[in-house]
Structure 1
Amino acid sequence: MTVKAILEQKGHDVFTLGPNEKLTEAIKILAEHRIGALVITNGDRKIVGILSERDIVRVLAREGAAALDQSVRAAMTPKVNICNENHTVNELMEIMTKGRFRHLPVEKDGMLDGIVSIGDVVKRRIEDVEREAAEIRAYIATA
C-alpha cells in the first residue's frame, strides 16, 4: 500500500498553523482536535516546520510557562522529513522508526498534500498482514 492509497481513504485534510502564532494557540488546536502534531506553513501550503507534542514538552522543560507566549517558530522542528504519494507503508515505517517521530507530512509539487501518522501506518500494515494470511489460507485450502 502507498501513501496515495492511505490519503484516498483518510483524506488530505491537515491542521496547520503559521510560524508566528503563539504556542498557546497551537496547544489549543492540538487538544481540541485530539491530534499530535501541526504542520507549520506560511499560509501558502509550503511546509516550513512541524510542531509535535514532543516539541512542546521540550520547550516547556527548557523555559517553563514563559514558553507559552512564544511563537510556534521557537518550538517547531524546522527540518521536516516528508514523504510523497509513492512511498510504501514499509518505507514509511523505516523513515518514522529511523527518525523517531510519529507524523510525516506528504508533499506534492512542493506543497503540503496531507499527513500520515504512525497510527495510519500500523493500521494499513495490519490490513496487509491479514489479507496476506487470508490469501495463504485460501491457497492452502485449494491445493
Structure 2
Amino acid sequence: MSVAGILKTKGTTIITAKVGDSVSVASAILADHNIGAVLVLDSVGQVAGILSERDIVAALARSGSGCLIVNVEDLMTRNVIVCKPSDSIDDILLMMTEKRIRHLPVMDDSKLLGVISIGDVVKHRMDAVEQEAAAMRDYIATG
C-alpha cells in the first residue's frame, strides 16, 4: 500500500493560499473547504510553506486577534515535510506520528501531486484491514 493509492481514492485537488494572504483569508479558506491545513504558494506557484489550524490557534493564544491581519508567511511552517507517491502507508503513519504532523504534500521530484492528511492515511489503512478480514472470513467459510 502506498501514498499513490490514497491519492487515487481521494483525488488530487489541492487547496492553496498565497504568501501575501492574511491569516483571516487563510482561515476562511480552511473553513470553506473544511480542511485543517492549507499549502502556501509563493509568487511563482512553488510551495513556500503550510499553514495549519494549529498554527493559527497558537498565534491567537500568543497575540490575540491581531494575528488575523498578518500575512500567512508570518505564521506558516516554512520547512515543509513532504512525501512521495511511492512511500508506504506504514512509513507515512510512522513519520506523521514521530514528527507530530497531520498534513503532507505529495511530491514527485518537484511536482506537487496532492496533499494527504492523517485522516486519509488512517481511513486507507482501516479499509485495507477490513478487506483483509473479509478475505480471511471468506477463506474460513469456504474452507
TM-score range, shorter chain: over 0.9
Once the two structures are TM-superposed, the CA of residue 44 in structure 1 deviates from its matched residue by: 4.0
Is there any run of 5+ residues in structure 1 with no aligned partner, and where? none
Inter-partner Cα distance in structure 1 for 2:108 and 2:136: 36
Q: Give aligned-pair identity as a percent.
A: 44
Partner of 1:84, secondary structure, is coil
TM-score, with structure 2 as normaliser: 0.93
Aligned structure 1 segments of 4 or more residues deviating by more than 3 angstroms: none
Name the CA shift for 1:43/1:3 in 2 (closer, same or farther; >3 Å). farther
**Number of the residue aligned with 2:74:** 74
AA in 2 matched with 1:31: A
For residues 116-135 of structure 1, what are the structure 2 equivalents within 5 Å? 116-135=116-135
**Number of the residue aligned with 1:36:** 36
**Number of the residue aligned with 2:52:** 52
Give the length in aligned residue pairs: 143
Matched-pair contact (CA < 8 Å) for 1:45–1:111: no
Name the CA shift for 1:85/1:44 in 2 (closer, same or farther; >3 Å). farther
Once the two structures are TM-superposed, the CA of residue 95 in structure 1 deviates from its matched residue by: 1.1
Question: What is the root-mean-square deviation in Å for CA atoms of aligned residues?
Answer: 1.3
Name the CA shift for 1:6/1:45 in 2 (closer, same or farther; >3 Å). farther
**Number of the residue aligned with 1:115:** 115
Inter-partner Cα distance in structure 1 for 2:111 and 2:63: 33
